């Protein structure tokens, strides 16, 4: 029997809350501490060797990295330096089969890692340290999320959106992965505020934000840009997929009445990288121009850049 929608949501949220560990090891003993970490309730998101671990970081988004001190393909110093340069400055713990002397631990700390443990003798200490570092990272994530969140809707705010937009366009430059941007504007919000009051207008804004969340995937960025304007950044989406997503969002918004207001609608502008633009600024401008056209052509519709 398949899981119901609420069960799927609960499972997804638990997965996000679970501590994630990336192992960097080619040692035969890596299976031992992988099993121990999983038995402790942690999510081991990958076992990689050498430089391949750096590629795994963005995909797996770990809270802590556990690496063999003698891993092939990259030195301990290089690994520490690379992790320092990541956006989150991920904590790194080294493991190995040589004795964890005071001198070795001190050298590890001076190199920029958080600790060193001899495996298998100090496996319980490794688990305790991983849990501690994961807890710190999760608290940092929560504080960062609050700083990047719109107070009324819980969506990403303009600052977080700008960061995500830059990352997606850079991803296209490096790996030729497309992305698309939807800009949505609530139709006649000023009239709604004038007729029903600003509390009703806030309900309309939250209604559209809920629809935006429903229409987005885990790797998309849904944001409130301010006032009645919203954005949905679609990772890996081409022009056709973006148009389909925009129409789905428009239909979701209009499908359910807002209490005390009735049915509300949105107008949308769509632009894709690299079809319509190749920079963050030009992608936003292309989507904004399409949104302006959608509003001029009668509202409650989607327009695509260049058409």
Would you write out the chain's pLDDT as a tens digit for each of its 307 residues?
334 333 333 333 344 467 889 888 777 777 888 888 899 999 888 766 666 666 666 667 788 888 888 776 666 677 777 776 665 678 889 988 889 999 989 988 888 889 999 988 999 999 999 999 999 988 888 887 778 899 899 999 999 999 999 999 998 998 899 999 999 999 999 999 999 999 999 999 999 999 999 999 888 999 999 999 999 999 999 999 999 999 999 999 999 999 999 999 999 999 999 999 999 999 999 999 999 999 999 999 999 998 7
Q: Where along the chain do its domains lie?
A: 5-147, 158-304
**Cα four-point dihedral sign 241, 244, 245, 246:** positive
Superfamily of domain 5-147: Response regulator (3.40.50.2300)
Pairing of strands 92-96, 221-226: unpaired
Angle at 78 between CA 114 and CA 34, to 5 degrees: 55
Q: Compute CA 176 distance to the chain's CA centroid, rounded to the nearest angstrom.
A: 19
Is the Cβ–Cβ distance between 119 and 36 less than 8 Å?
no
Q: What is the pLDDT of residue 56?
A: 66
CA pair distance 136, 19, nearest whole angstrom: 11
Angle at 125 between CA 124 and CA 128, to 5 degrees: 90
Q: What is the pLDDT of residue 293?
A: 97
CB atoms within 10 A of CB 101: 11
3-state secondary structure of 244: helix
CA pair distance 266, 236, nearest whole angstrom: 24
**Cα four-point dihedral sign 93, 97, 102, 104:** negative
For the domain 158-304, what is the CATH code? 3.30.70.270
Q: What is the pLDDT of residue 55?
A: 63
Q: What is the pLDDT of residue 266?
A: 98
pTM of the entire structure?
0.61
Burial (Cβ within 10 Å: 0-12, 13-18, ≥19) of residue 142: exposed
Catalytic residue numbers?
228
- Token digits for 148? 């990047």
């Amino acid at each position: 029997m398949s899981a119901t929608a609420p069960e799927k949501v609960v499972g997804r949220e638990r997965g996000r809350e679970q501590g994630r560990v990336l192992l960097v090891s080619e040692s035969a003993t890596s299976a031992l501490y992988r099993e121990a970490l999983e038995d402790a309730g942690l999510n081991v998101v990958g076992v990689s060797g050498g430089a391949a671990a750096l590629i795994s970081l963005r995909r797996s988004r770990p809270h802590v990295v556990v690496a063999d001190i003698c891993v092939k393909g990259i030195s301990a110093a290089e690994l520490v330096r690379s992790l320092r340069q990541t956006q989150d400055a991920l904590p790194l713990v080294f493991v190995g089969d040589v004795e964890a002397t005071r001198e070795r631990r001190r050298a590890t700390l001076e190199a920029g890692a958080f600790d060193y443990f001899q495996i298998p003798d100090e496996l319980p200490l490794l688990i305790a340290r991983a849990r501690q570092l994961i807890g710190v990272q999760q608290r940092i994530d929560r504080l960062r999320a609050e700083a990047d969140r719109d107070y009324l809707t819980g969506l990403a705010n303009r600052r977080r959106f700008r960061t995500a937009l830059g990352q997606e366009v850079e991803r296209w430059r490096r790996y030729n992965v497309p992305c698309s941007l939807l800009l949505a504007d609530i139709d006649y919000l000023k009239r709604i505020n004038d007729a029903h009051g600003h509390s009703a207008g806030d309900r309309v804004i939250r209604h559209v934000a809920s629809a935006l969340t429903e229409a987005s995937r885990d790797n998309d960025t849904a944001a409130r840009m301010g006032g009645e304007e919203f954005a949905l950044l679609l990772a890996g989406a081409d022009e056709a997929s973006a148009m389909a997503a925009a129409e789905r969002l428009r239909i979701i918004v209009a499908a359910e009445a807002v209490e005390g207001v009735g049915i509300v609608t949105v107008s949308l502008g769509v632009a894709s990288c690299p079809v319509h633009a190749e920079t963050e600024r030009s992608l936003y401008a292309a989507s904004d121009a399409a949104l302006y056209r959608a509003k001029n052509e009668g509202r409650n519709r989607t327009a695509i850049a260049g058409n």
